[in-house]
Amino acid sequence: MAALQPVRGTQDLLPEAYRRHRAVIETARRIAELFGYQEIATPIFEFTEVFARPIGETTDIVSKEMYTFQDRGGEEITLRPEYTAGIVRAVMSNGLTQSLPLKFFAAGPMFRYERPQKGRFRQFHQIDAELIGAAQPVADVDLISLAAEILDALGVLRHTVLELNTLGDSASRQAYRTALVDYYGKHRDKLSEDSLRRLDTNPLRILDSKDDGDKRVNAAAPNFADYLTPEAKEFFAEVCAGLTALGISYVRNPRLVRGLDYYCHTAFEFVTTSLGAQGTVLGGGRYDGLMGVMGGPQTPGVGWAAGIERLAMLIEEPPAPPRPIALVPLGKPAELLALQLARSLRHAGFHIELGYSGNLRRRLQRADKIKARAAVILGDDEIAKQVAAVRDLDSGEQGEVPLAALAERLAVFR
């Protein structure tokens, strides 16, 4: 019988890999707290409508990528493909719209049925930050500043470029959408099949198409900046001024778009070429229309998400865990004593590895394998004298230590 294997597009995060994973989360969590963000956890699955309504039934995410199924009660359920919609749903479900503004940080797994590739899995993980209830440009600046601080603390910021764009307000987008539909309508024969479909649903998405033919058409497409209202221009100018005041450099990318109508004003991505082809490591923007689309009151919001797997590949190797101290009991009485000593030493802050079987030689081999710093050997003779034999596994030196003074002797091995 063949050994069971993981599902394609998933991975086991073994200890060494998970150490990187955890370093990303803990660094992000620590800095998010400094910015006043509180950690939240939403369900891994939601009613499908939570994602389908805001993302749109016709988008690739809903039609091709979401893991959607019926549960035993006949309810249509979807494993979450992203955090924002679930967090906004949580705000509405828990009556938090009376407590705005709200600042949330989250970290956890997401699910999309995508073609697996480097740094991208069908089960993947994200860190996420959402600022709900603040309409001012300074909120966008502060949120981007949080992202930059996290990337800097991870040692990743210097390998990225912040790309920035404005999606304007509703009037700006409507005028631009009309201009795009008119322009692309004259070049239908040059557009890809995906872009022809988007022409009727999300024409702005054509602008970031990776198809070579679409890129050639996009080269002469109308410029969004020509359709911005004075209010939208002022909002973007304040965002740019705030970033400049903080010393956060950016480049304007007019092709950085979001296809859904509830997105507005600021869109941004921190991109890198350190993983080969240019890739986004963190991206976000303003979504003032999202809560309204989901059935709640019109409420401004801005947020971002970052892939933990990609960030984990970019960070330096985190510090290894402290080398443990191995307890090596020989015989039943020694095993009981070792259990008691392990508990008291752990309470004192020592990292204790307790051997479970084998003679002295095998247990010391195990201690070497786990890179133990020292071994505490307990046998009948040691118990009779109320001592332990403490062996320095680096130097090989060994001596007897009274059990009452064991913690003091082991302090040099921390």
Helix H, strand E, coil C: the string for 331-356 is CHHHHHHHHHHHHHHHHCCCCEEECC
State the CATH number of the domain containing residue 47.
3.30.930.10
Does one domain contain both 337 and 301?
Answer: no
Does one domain contain both 386 and 237?
Answer: no
Q: Whole domain around residue 404: which residue ranges?
A: 325-413
Does one domain contain both 347 and 305?
Answer: no
Q: What is the pTM for the complete model shown?
A: 0.89
State the Cα angle at 383 between 378 and 387, rounded to 5°. Answer: 75
Q: Are 147 and 129 in contact (CB under 8 A)?
A: yes
Does one domain contain both 278 and 146?
Answer: yes
d(CA 134, CA 98): 13
Question: Quick one: pLDDT at residue 338?
Answer: 95
Question: Quick one: pLDDT at residue 116?
Answer: 65
Does one domain contain both 63 and 149?
Answer: yes
> Around Cβ 229, how many Cβ atoms within 10 Å?
15
d(CA 60, CA 260): 12
Does one domain contain both 303 and 350?
Answer: no
> Around Cβ 115, how many Cβ atoms within 10 Å?
8
Does one domain contain both 31 and 56?
Answer: yes
The residues of the chain scoring below 50 in pLDDT are 57-58
Answer whether residue 288 is part of any domain.
Answer: yes
Does one domain contain both 286 and 336?
Answer: no
Question: Quick one: pLDDT at residue 61?
Answer: 59
Tokens of 103: 């600042």
Does one domain contain both 236 and 125?
Answer: yes
Does one domain contain both 233 and 377?
Answer: no
Residue where one domain finishes, among candidates 288, 314, 340: 314
Residue where one domain finishes, among candidates 284, 314, 344: 314
Answer whether residue 1 is part of any domain.
Answer: no
Specify the DSSP element, H or E, that contains 14: none
Among 167, 158, 166, 128, which residue's Cα sits nearest to residue 270?
A: 158
Q: Domains in the chain: how many in total?
A: 2
Answer whether residue 306 is part of any domain.
Answer: yes
The secondary structure of residue 208, as a DSSP letter, is G
Answer whether residue 188 is part of any domain.
Answer: no
> Around Cβ 379, how many Cβ atoms within 10 Å?
16
Answer whether residue 93 is part of any domain.
Answer: yes
Does one domain contain both 158 and 51?
Answer: yes
Answer whether residue 104 is part of any domain.
Answer: yes
Answer whether residue 201 is part of any domain.
Answer: no
Query: Exposed/middle/buried for 176, CB within 10 Å: 0-12, 13-18, 19+?
Result: buried
Q: Are 287 and 84 in contact (CB under 8 A)?
A: yes
Does one domain contain both 253 and 104?
Answer: yes
State the CATH number of the domain containing residue 407.
3.40.50.800
Residue where one domain finishes, among candidates 279, 314, 349: 314
